[in-house]
Chains A and B, each alone.
Chain A
Amino acid sequence: AQSVTQPDIHITVSEGASLELRCNYSYGATPYLFWYVQSPGQGLQLLLKYFSGDTLVQGIKGFEAEFKRSQSSFNLRKPSVHWSDAAEYFCAVAPYSGAGSYQLTFGKGTKLSVIP
């Protein structure tokens, strides 16, 4: 079974600083990988996804993530954080199968606080 670890429960950065949120996964083959963002009391919004190909993927709101197979990682980055980026971020993994399991496994999330 797949699993996802987000080592940082809470991160605080200053507005304008760079950001990296860590995600490590455990899965026997190449997985599908996702990053979602959740504002308080709201649902989750997809930031970006990796299925195959270029290991550096671009998402919405200026975010990017890099898939590193050797490290089983899919870290999320942003060069300059805005106060509106304060939210909770979830990494998720799904099996590499278009017709198979429909189950995403989510990490426990990283809460991002932004200091003005």
Chain B
Amino acid sequence: DGGITQSPKYLFRKEGQNVTLSCEQNLNHDAMYWYRQDPGQGLRLIYYSQIVNDFQKGDIAEGYSVSREKKESFPLTVTSAQKNPTAFYLCAASVGGSNPLHFGNGTRLTVT
């Protein structure tokens, strides 16, 4: 059954710690994305990757980092430099271009 798996569903960290969110897809899609969702703010693009070993900053990349070593995986690291990291993070994939996105079920990160 093809899809996008985000783990864990809930994540708790202390302020000042880096944390990595996992995103794996078996859809064989070239493009992958990370979005951040805050109440009443819609979705904001953090990073995206069109092909392996290449990625671009989105609208709110500061305080985040990514890697794309494999087509199936696009992990997101929330660094201690991110001033307000508590949010719902969504990973997505698409065949590329302006085609629809397929979303994972999200990871809710709480930093205290």
A residues within 8 Å of B by Cβ? 9, 32, 34, 36, 41-46, 49, 90, 94-104, 106-109
Contact = CB atoms under 8 A, between A and B. Distances in A.
B74 to A, nearest CB: 13
A108 B41 contact: yes
Nearest to A97: B98
Contacts of A100: 97-98
B66 to A, nearest CB: 14
Interface in B23-44: 31, 33, 40-43
B96 interface: yes
A43 B105 CA distance: 4
Given A41-B106, A42-B105, A95 B98 contact: yes
B58 to A, nearest CB: 7
Contacts of A44: 43, 90, 92, 101, 103
14 contacts: A34-B100, A36-B103, A43-B4, A43-B105, A44-B90, A44-B103, A98-B98, A101-B98, A102-B33, A102-B50, A102-B97, A103-B48, A106-B42, A106-B43
Nearest to B103: A43
Contacts of B105: 41-43
B45 A90 contact: no
B77 interface: no
A108 B41 CA distance: 5
A91 to B, nearest CB: 9
B104 interface: yes
Given A41-B108, A43-B90, A44-B90, A102 B98 contact: yes
Contacts of B90: 43-44
B67 interface: no
B5 to A, nearest CB: 11
B110 interface: no
Nearest to A95: B98
Contacts of A104: 45, 98, 101
A42 B96 CA distance: 23
